[in-house]
C-alpha cells in the first residue's frame, strides 16, 4: 500500500486543472542562475564560467541504439488514461481544453483519447482556408455530437481573417450548439486565444509540473534497468537516492526547474545531454582523482549528463525581428516558412533571414516543415520573452 | 579694511594640503560622475522592460548624490561651517546669482528638482513645447530629447517651472499609440469597429493586458476612427502605428469601405469658409 502511494506520488502523469498547476521548486532560482550564467559567460568566457567535474572532451555521444534503450520516446498513454479519468468530472461541459507547452504531448494525448473513445477529430484547415477566413472546416463539427481537436494551434492564424474561423468555432462550441468536444491546445496558443477570443469559464486541464525526484523516477523506469548516471557538473550520481534524498536529486531538480516541470522538454534535455566515456579516457577527472561517487561502479554502464544550463543562450541584445519571430512561432505551435508573411510585419526575405539565422544557431528546429523553438532553447526563449513583456503561456 | 578682515575670517586657511584635498575631491567627483553616468546608461541600454526604466531613473539621482557628497566634504575644508558663516556666504552667492546667472542657476536647480520629482527620466517619451521624443540624457542643466527624426534637442530644465511636460509612458513600459482612419460616412460602423479591434489583436507588436479601444467620432466629412492600443515596447510605437495603419487599410479596402472623400482639414476649412 505504502509502495503504491509512493508510486502514485512519483507518477509524472497527474492531470490537474490549470489553476492548480505549479512549477517545480527553485524555478525562480533557476531563472536567476540562467541570467547569472549568461553574465559570467559574457565577462569571463564560456569555458571559465562552467566549473566541471568531468570535461566534455572526455565523453562522447551515445550511439542511437543505446540512446533508444536508455531514453526511449515518451509513451503518452498513461497521460491519456489520466485524462480519460479527469474528463469524467466534466461530462456536462461543452468544451474541455487540455493544454501543454511545446513538446508537451497534448496533441498525442488527445488523439489517443479520441481513438480510444471512437470520437472523430476535426480536419486541420489549410493555410489558404485560414487566410481566406473560410468556415468550411467549422461546418464539419455541426454534423457531430462529440468530436475532438488534437492541436487547436493549427486551427488559427494571428491574422484578421485567421481569427474568424476559430472564433466562430469556439463561440458555437461554448454555447453547446456543437455537442461536446475535447481540444488539445498549445499553452501559448491558449494564452493568445484567451485574450483574442475569450475563453472564460472553459475547463482547462494540464499535466502537473514535475519535481526532480519524479524525473529521476521516470528516467529510471523508462530505461528498464537503472543506469548509473553522473553529473558532469558535480561528479555525483543523479538517479540514485542512497544519501540524503534532497541532495541526491538536486541535479535533476535543477533540470526540472530549468524545464518548468515539463516532461517533454526535460526528456529532450535527457536525450541530448547524455554522454558516455570516450574509449581513450579513463574514469579519472582532470586532476587525476577519482570522482567520489563512482569509485566502485561498472564503467561500461556509466553515463554522464552534461550541465543542462550549458546551452546556447539567446544574447540579451537579441533584436526585435528575432524576438517577434520567436513569439509568433510559439503562439502558433510552429509555422511553415510560407506562413510567416501572413503573421509578421516584415517582408518575406526579412522574416526568412531571421528564421535562417535562428535555425543556424540551433534556436529553432523543424518538425514536418514547421519551424518551432527548439526544446533545448525553450527555457531561455521563454525567459527572454517574459523579460520583454511579451505575452507568455500560463505554464 | 575691517570688512575685508571679517570676510577673510569666513574662510579657513588654505595650505597646500587643503588644496590637494580639494583637487582630489574635484577629480574624484568628476570621475565618479562620468563612470556612474556612462555605466548606468550602458547597463540600462542592454536591459528591457521595467528594469530598464528603473536603471535609467538612477542616472540623475546618482549624480545628485555624488555632488551632494562632494559638497559636504569640500565645504568644511573651505569655510568654517557655522550658521553665521553659511548665511553670509549663501547671501553673497545668492546676490551674485540673482543678477548675473539667474536662468543658468534656475536650470541647475530645476535639474535637482527633476532628479527628485522625476517628471522625465531617460527612456521616457516626452513632449515639451512641441518637441516630442525619447529622453536620452538628463543633464545638470538640460534634458536631451531625441526626436523620431533623429535630432537631439537640448531642453533646459528651466521649462519645468512654467511649461506642461507631457510624459507618454512615465517611467513605465506602457505607451498608448493611436492609429487614425478617416472613412466615408456610408458604412456599417459596428463591423468596422470589430474589424479594427481585430487588426489590433493580430498585431505582432501588441502588448496584452492593456486595453484596446476603438473610438468612432462622426465628422462633417465622414467618420473618424481611432485605434488606441499599446505596443510591447515604447520604442516600437511608430512601427506599431504603421502596422495598424497598413493592415487596417487592407482590411477596410477588402471590405469595400471607402475612405473619406475630403481630407479633414480641407473639409473643415471649406465648412468654415461657407459659414
What is the full DSSP assignment across A140-162? HHHT-SEEEES-GGGG--SSTTH
Longest dimension (CA), chain A: 72
pLDDT for the residue A372: 95
Q: What is the pTM of this model?
A: 0.80
Instruction: Characterise B250 by phi-psi region: left (phi > 0), alpha (psi -120 to 50), beta (else).
Output: alpha
- ipTM of this model? 0.83
pLDDT for the residue B79: 79
Q: A186: part of which helix (H) or strand (E)?
A: strand A180-186
Contact: A345, B236; criterion CB under 8 Å = no
Under 8 Å between Cβ of B139 and B112: no
Mean pLDDT for chain B overall: 85
Rounded Cα–Cα distance for residues B260 and B244 (Å) = 18
CB atoms within 10 A of CB B120: 25
Q: Is the pLDDT at B67 greater than 70, yes or no?
A: yes
Rounded Cα–Cα distance for residues B24 and A215 (Å) = 60
Q: Is the pLDDT at A256 greater than 60, yes or no?
A: yes
**Stretch A44-50: mean pLDDT:** 58
Contact: A163, B202; criterion CB under 8 Å = yes
Residue A184 pairs in a beta bridge with A98
pLDDT band at A318 (very low <50, low <70, confident <90, very high): confident
**Stretch B98-125: mean pLDDT:** 82
Percentage, residues of chain A above pLDDT 70: 81
pLDDT band at A49 (very low <50, low <70, confident <90, very high): low
What lies within 8 Å, CB to CB, of A225 at 6+ separation is none
**Stretch A93-99: mean pLDDT:** 94
Q: Is the pLDDT at A285 greater than 50, yes or no?
A: no
Under 8 Å between Cβ of A213 and A125: no
pLDDT for the residue B19: 87
Q: How many CA atoms lie within 13 A of B115 on its CB side?
A: 22
**Stretch A272-295: mean pLDDT:** 58
Collect all residues of chain B within an 8 Å Cβ-Cβ radius of residue A158.
202, 204
pLDDT for the residue B72: 85
Under 8 Å between Cβ of A242 and A55: no
**What is the rounded end-to-end Cα distance, in angstroms, of chain B?**
79
Instruction: Give the full edge-to-edge strand order of the sheet including B152-156.
Output: B152-156, B142-146, B131-138, B125-128, B165-167
Q: CB burial class (10 A; 0-12, 13-18, 19+) of residue A134?
A: middle
Rounded Cα–Cα distance for residues B246 and A260 (Å) = 39
User: Of B149 and B10, which is predicted with more confidence?
Assistant: B149
Mean pLDDT for chain A overall: 83
Longest dimension (CA), chain B: 93
pLDDT for the residue A283: 46
Contact: A345, B239; criterion CB under 8 Å = yes
Lowest mean pLDDT, pick from A210-219, A358-367, B84-93: B84-93
Rounded Cα–Cα distance for residues A241 and A220 (Å) = 12
pLDDT for the residue A34: 67
Q: Which of A56, A50, A52, A24 is nearest to A36 (CA)?
A: A50
What are the two backbone dihedrals, phi and then psi, of residue B155, each rounded to the nearest 5 degrees? -110, 125
User: β-strands B165-167, A364-367: how paired?
Assistant: unpaired
What lies within 8 Å, CB to CB, of A66 at 6+ separation is A276
Q: Is the pLDDT at A390 greater than 80, yes or no?
A: yes
Query: Residue A346: closest CA among chain B residues belongs to which residue?
Result: B243
For residue B76, the distance in angstroms to the closest alpha carbon of chain A comes to 42
Lowest mean pLDDT, pick from A276-280, B53-57, B144-148, B250-254: A276-280
C-alpha cell at A220: 529510471
Q: Is the pLDDT at B207 greater than 90, yes or no?
A: yes
User: Of A347 and A296, which is predicted with more confidence?
Assistant: A347
Rg (CA), chain B: 27
Rounded Cα–Cα distance for residues B233 and B173 (Å) = 6
Rounded Cα–Cα distance for residues A322 and A344 (Å) = 11
Q: Is the pLDDT at B6 greater than 70, yes or no?
A: no
Rounded Cα–Cα distance for residues A320 and A354 (Å) = 10
**Stretch A130-135: mean pLDDT:** 89
Rounded Cα–Cα distance for residues A354 and A368 (Å) = 20
Q: Is the pLDDT at A158 greater than 60, yes or no?
A: yes
Under 8 Å between Cβ of A174 and A96: no
pLDDT for the residue B171: 83
Under 8 Å between Cβ of B12 and B78: yes
pLDDT for the residue A98: 96
By a Cβ cutoff of 8 Å, what residues of chain A touch chain B? 158-160, 162-163, 195-196, 316-317, 320, 324, 327-328, 343-345, 387-391
Q: Which of B81, B67, B78 is nearest to B36 (CA)?
A: B67
pLDDT band at B269 (very low <50, low <70, confident <90, very high): low
pLDDT for the residue A208: 93
How many residues does the structure list for chain A? Answer: 395
pLDDT for the residue A311: 62
Q: Is the pLDDT at A309 greater than 70, yes or no?
A: no
Contact: B233, A389; criterion CB under 8 Å = yes
User: Of A63 and A38, which is predicted with more confidence?
Assistant: A63
Q: Mark out the alpha helices in chain B (DSSP H runs).
A: 2-10, 16-45, 50-78, 83-100, 102-117, 189-201, 237-254, 264-274
Q: Is the pLDDT at B56 greater than 70, yes or no?
A: yes
Contact: A160, B251; criterion CB under 8 Å = yes
pLDDT band at A296 (very low <50, low <70, confident <90, very high): very low
pLDDT for the residue A51: 60
pLDDT band at A291 (very low <50, low <70, confident <90, very high): very low
C-alpha cell at B258: 471607402
Residues 94-123 in B contacting A (C-alpha not used; CB under 8 Å): none
Percentage, residues of chain B above pLDDT 70: 90
Residue A15, classed as helix, strand or coil, is strand
Under 8 Å between Cβ of A184 and A106: yes
Out of A80-94, A240-254, B249-263, the most confident range is: A80-94
pLDDT for the residue B274: 45
pLDDT for the residue A295: 47
Amino acid at each position: 500500500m505504502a509502495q503504491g502511494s509512493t508510486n502514485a506520488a512519483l507518477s509524472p502523469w497527474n492531470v490537474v486543472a490549470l489553476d492548480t498547476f505549479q512549477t517545480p521548486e527553485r524555478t525562480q532560482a533557476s531563472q536567476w542562475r540562467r541570467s547569472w550564467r549568461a553574465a559570467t559567460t559574457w565577462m569571463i568566457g564560456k569555458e571559465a564560467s562552467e566549473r566541471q567535474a568531468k570535461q566534455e572532451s572526455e565523453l562522447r555521444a551515445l550511439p542511437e541504439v543505446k540512446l533508444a534503450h536508455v531514453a526511449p520516446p515518451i509513451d503518452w498513454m498513461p497521460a491519456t488514461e489520466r485524462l480519460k479519468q479527469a474528463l469524467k468530472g466534466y461530462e456536462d461541459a461543452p468544451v474541455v481544453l487540455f493544454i501543454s507547452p511545446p513538446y508537451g504531448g497534448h496533441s498525442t494525448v488527445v488523439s489517443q483519447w479520441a481513438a480510444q473513445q471512437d470520437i472523430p477529430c476535426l480536419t486541420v484547415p489549410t493555410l489558404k482556408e485560414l487566410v481566406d477566413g473560410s468556415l468550411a472546416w467549422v461546418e464539419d463539427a455541426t454534423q457531430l455530437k462529440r468530436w475532438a481537436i488534437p492541436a487547436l494551434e493549427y486551427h488559427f492564424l494571428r491574422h484578421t481573417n485567421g481569427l474568424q474561423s476559430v472564433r466562430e468555432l469556439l463561440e458555437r462550441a461554448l454555447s453547446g450548439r456543437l455537442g461536446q468536444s475535447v481540444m488539445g491546445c498549445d499553452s501559448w496558443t491558449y494564452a493568445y486565444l484567451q485574450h483574442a477570443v475569450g475563453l472564460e469559464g472553459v475547463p482547462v486541464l494540464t499535466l502537473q509540473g514535475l519535481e526532480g525526484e519524479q524525473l529521476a523516477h521516470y528516467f529510471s523506469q523508462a530505461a528498464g534497468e537503472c543506469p548509473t548516471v553522473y553529473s558532469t557538473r558535480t561528479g555525483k550520481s543523479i538517479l540514485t537516492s542512497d544519501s540524503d534524498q534532497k541532495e541526491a536529486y538536486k541535479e535533476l531538480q535543477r533540470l526540472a526547474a530549468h524545464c518548468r516541470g515539463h516532461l517533454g522538454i526535460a526528456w529532450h534535455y535527457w536525450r541530448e545531454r547524455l554522454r558516455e566515456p570516450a574509449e581513450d579516457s579513463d574514469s579519472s577527472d582532470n586532476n587525476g582523482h577519482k570522482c567520489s561517487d563512482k569509485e566502485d561502479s561498472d564503467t561500461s554502464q556509466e553515463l554522464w549528463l552534461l550541465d543542462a544550463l550549458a546551452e546556447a543562450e539567446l544574447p540579451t541584445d537579441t533584436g526585435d525581428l528575432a524576438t517577434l519571430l520567436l513569439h509568433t512561432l510559439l503562439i502558433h505551435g510552429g509555422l511553415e516558412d510560407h506562413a510567416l508573411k501572413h503573421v509578421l510585419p516584415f517582408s518575406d526575405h526579412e522574416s526568412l533571414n531571421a528564421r535562417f539565422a535562428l535555425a543556424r544557431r540551433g534556436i529553432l528546429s523543424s518538425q514536418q516543415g514547421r519551424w518551432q523553438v527548439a526544446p533545448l532553447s525553450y527555457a531561455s526563449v521563454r525567459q527572454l520573452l517574459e523579460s520583454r513583456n511579451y505575452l507568455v503561456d500560463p505554464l | 579694511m575691517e570688512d575685508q578682515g571679517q570676510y577673510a575670517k569666513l574662510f579657513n586657511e588654505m595650505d597646500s594640503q587643503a588644496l590637494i584635498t580639494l583637487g582630489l575631491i574635484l577629480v574624484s567627483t568628476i570621475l565618479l560622475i562620468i563612470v556612474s553616468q556612462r555605466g548606468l546608461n550602458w547597463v540600462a541600454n542592454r536591459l528591457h522592460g521595467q528594469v530598464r526604466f528603473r536603471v535609467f531613473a538612477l542616472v540623475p539621482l546618482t549624480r545628485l548624490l555624488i555632488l551632494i557628497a562632494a559638497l559636504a566634504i569640500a565645504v568644511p575644508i573651505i569655510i568654517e561651517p557655522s550658521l553665521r558663516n553659511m548665511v553670509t556666504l549663501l547671501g553673497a552667492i545668492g546676490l551674485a546669482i540673482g543678477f548675473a546667472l539667474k536662468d543658468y542657476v534656475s536650470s541647475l536647480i530645476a535639474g535637482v528638482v527633476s532628479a527628485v520629482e522625476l517628471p522625465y527620466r531617460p527612456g521616457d517619451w516626452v513632449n515639451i513645447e512641441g518637441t516630442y521624443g525619447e529622453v536620452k540624457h538628463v543633464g545638470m542643466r538640460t534634458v536631451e530629447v531625441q526626436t523620431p527624426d533623429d535630432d537631439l534637442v537640448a531642453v533646459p530644465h528651466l521649462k519645468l517651472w512654467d511649461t506642461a511636460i507631457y510624459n507618454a509612458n512615465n517611467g513605465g513600459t506602457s505607451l498608448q499609440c493611436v492609429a487614425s482612419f478617416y472613412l466615408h460616412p456610408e458604412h456599417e460602423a459596428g463591423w468596422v469597429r470589430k474589424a479594427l479591434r481585430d487588426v489590433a489583436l493580430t498585431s505582432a507588436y501588441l502588448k496584452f493586458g492593456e486595453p484596446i479601444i476603438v473610438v468612432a467620432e462622426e465628422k462633417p466629412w465622414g467618420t473618424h476612427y481611432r485605434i488606441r492600443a499599446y505596443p510591447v515596447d515604447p520604442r516600437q510605437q511608430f512601427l506599431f502605428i504603421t502596422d495598424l495603419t497598413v493592415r487596417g487599410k487592407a482590411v477596410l479596402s477588402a471590405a469595400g469601405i471607402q475612405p473619406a472623400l475630403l481630407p479633414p482639414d480641407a473639409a473643415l476649412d471649406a465648412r468654415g469658409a461657407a459659414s
